[in-house]
């Protein structure tokens, strides 16, 4: 059944793969990018009335609100929101500038917040809707040398989990999707490294970054086309998951963290219980 989708960060990577598959499947799509020209070029202008390209600054609530209104004015409703826009930022905490850290939160977290706050009144009114927030495997298992990026994605995961509980009674579904390494441009122009002079070495972090880029760029295990297909199928599921790991690497890291956390929890159980009142 055809649905109305709103997809952010649609000019490349997973967002672009998703938009193309949605339109090919007969869905109607409002897609955002910082550059409408780049978006139209990437998706293709021949896609007709089912495609609404939008130039949006996700860090600006007014820009976001205008894009949601244009989506409703064009298509008459909205069924599914995919908050996909974001970028990676690597480096040790002390070598990243305050501006770089704030901007990463503005895009990766607050951009999602602006979209959800704008769309929720519409979803509440019809007691239906689906919000998919693209987090990361590093939003559950903190990446080595990616502490700021991980913190933005941990926030996305936590926000999604809380919203899923809050909105379920209203018929609104929420899923946080944690992709692993997918063969997109994430390790290319979608990854940001410190703008200042990097610390020569910090526990091997810079060496690790170089090794990651050298060994994984263009060789990531995840297929964005298959990920897009999963997301489309998810939209029709009557009881979708709150958390979904995409990619074998994402699954393995999640399992590793769960096992480690469970062992640590039990090891320190007596200390946890020791702080209760003895009634």
Tell which CATH architecture fits domain 4-273. 3-Layer(aba) Sandwich (3.40)
What confidence tens digit (pLDDT) does each residue in 231-264 have?
999 999 999 999 999 999 999 999 999 999 999 9
Across the range 170-186, mean pLDDT stands at: 85
The structure's pTM equals 0.87
Cβ atoms of 88 and 104 closer than 8 Å: no
User: Which among 72, 110, 149, 202 is annotated as catalytic?
Assistant: 149
Percentage with pLDDT > 90 across the chain: 72
Q: Considering only CA atoms, which of 74, 30, 73 is closest in space to residue 54? A: 30
Q: Mind listing the pLDDT tens digit for each residue in 40-72?
A: 989 886 667 899 999 999 999 999 999 999 999
The domain limits of the chain are: 4-273
> Which contiguous run of DSSP H or E holds residue 114?
helix 111-126
141 catalytic? Reply is no
If you average pLDDT over residues 75-97, what whole number do you get? 92
CA 16-108-185 angle, 5° bins: 40
> Most confidently modeled of 135-149, 176-190, 195-209?
135-149
Residue 85 pLDDT exceeds 60 = yes
Q: 117-171 pLDDT, tens per residue?
A: 999 999 999 999 999 999 999 999 987 788 999 999 999 999 999 999 999 999 9
């Amino acid at each position: 059944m055809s649905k109305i989708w709103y997809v952010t960060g649609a000019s490349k990577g997973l967002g672009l793969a998703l938009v193309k598959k949605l339109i090919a499947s007969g869905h109607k799509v409002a897609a955002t990018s910082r550059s409408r020209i780049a978006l139209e070029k990437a998706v293709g202008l021949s896609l007709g009335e089912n495609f609404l390209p939008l130039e949006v600054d996700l860090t600006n609530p007014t820009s976001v609100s205008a894009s949601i209104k244009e989506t409703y004015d064009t298509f008459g409703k909205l069924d599914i929101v995919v908050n996909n826009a974001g970028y990676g930022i690597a480096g040790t905490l002390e070598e990243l500038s305050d501006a770089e850290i704030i901007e990463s939160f503005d895009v990766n977290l607050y951009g999602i917040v602006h979209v959800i706050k704008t769309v929720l009144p519409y979803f509440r009114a019809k007691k239906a809707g689906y919000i998919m927030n693209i987090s990361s495997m590093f939003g559950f298992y903190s990446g080595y040398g990616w502490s700021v990026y991980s913190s933005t994605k941990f926030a996305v995961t936590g926000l999604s989990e809380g919203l899923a509980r809050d909105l379920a009674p209203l018929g609104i579904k929420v899923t946080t999707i944690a992709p692993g390494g997918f063969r997109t441009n994430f390790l290319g122009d979608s990854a940001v490294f410190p703008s200042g002079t990097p610390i020569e070495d910090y526990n091997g972090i810079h060496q690790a970054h170089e090794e990651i880029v050298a060994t994984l760029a263009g060789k990531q295990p995840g297929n964005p086309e298959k990920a897009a297909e999963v997301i489309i199928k998810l939209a029709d599921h009557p009881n979708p998951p709150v958390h979904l790991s995409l990619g074998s690497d994402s699954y393995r890291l999640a399992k590793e963290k769960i096992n480690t956390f469970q062992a640590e929890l039990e090891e320190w159980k007596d200390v946890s219980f020791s702080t209760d009142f003895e009634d």
